[in-house]
Amino acid sequence: MPRAIWTGSLTFGLVNVPVGLFSATEDNSVQFHQFERGTSDRIRYQRVNERTGEKVEYADIVKGHEISDGSYVVVESDELEKIAPGRSRALEITGFVEVETIDPIYFQKSYYLAAQGENYQRTYALLLAALRETKRAGLASLVMRGKEYLTVIRGMDDVIALQTLHFAGEVRNVRSYLGLTGESPTFTGKELTTAKQLIEALSMDFQPEDYHDTYRERVEKLIETKREGKAILSESAPAQATNVIDLMEGLQRSVAEAGVANKGKRPSTKTQSQRGRRKAA
């Protein structure tokens, strides 16, 4: 079994379950080392005292928060631990919500929660079953690695999953951040209808296994091509942006092509039910 990156207690009401936190995802990107061009000399990074130029051991490094230009408050790691001793080992569910009510922009990273100890397997399984049956997710706070996280805890097929969320203050206001001003553009009824037809024609059920990292595959192919000393072929250029004048023509052609491409394919469950209701009406 992998090593838990955090251990503590999952609490709901008066029920308490010791759990371990495990990362649910992994990074499969191709890893590279750095070299000085024209040599076989590796580039390495070191923690160096900028005044003396000497290497500093990790154990001798403390944190400093700048309070004014050049002035810092120094904080030790154990001082951070002392201000949240209980919370750094507690995962208390304070309420339950429907996952669909949470905007996806708030989701951050996914983990698995596993019961620690045979004596707690039944209690863990009960909470898992209740979460699945009610289709609710628990809200809880977690302190880990010097940071507090808002989390949602939900039931999957075989395990309780935990997903960290961004706090509201961490999500940028889109209008001020991107400088959006003025009213939204208006469209003709035909333009909007055709755009909706395109969405309808391309609707499908999400099957994660249908998607894979094509860029990583290209990188691996590039490495193999260079290893064999073969010529490197460039990828085709990206598509050009659609001219506003050609918008309607582009939409209509897209709907037609989507209809041909999707012939024989199974549409999304939602699309099927919608069509069934329209037919019945």
pLDDT tens, 200-246?
888 888 898 988 888 888 888 888 888 888 887 776 666 666 565 57
Which residue matches tokens 């700048």?
66
Residue 272: the pLDDT is 52
Query: What is the tens place of the pLDDT at every residue in 34-52?
Result: 999 999 999 999 999 999 9
Q: Taking Cα atoms as reference points, which of 13, 1, 26 lies closest to residue 111?
A: 26
CA 276 to chain centre: 35
Q: How confident is the model at residue 1 (pLDDT cuts 50, 70, 90)?
A: confident
pTM beyond 0.85, yes or no: no
Angle at CA 259, nearest 5°, toward 257 and 261?
A: 65
Distance CA(93)–CA(150), nearest Å, equals: 11
Q: How confident is the model at residue 77 (pLDDT cuts 50, 70, 90)?
A: confident
Residue ranges per structural domain of the chain: 6-27+82-169, 189-234+244-280
Q: Is the pLDDT of residue 165 over 60?
A: yes
Is the CATH number of domain 6-27+82-169 2.40.290.10? yes
| Ranges of H-type helices in the chain | 77-82, 121-134, 174-178, 189-201, 214-227, 247-261, 269-280
Give whole-number Cα distances, 124 to 45, 169, 181, 264, in Å: 44, 33, 50, 44
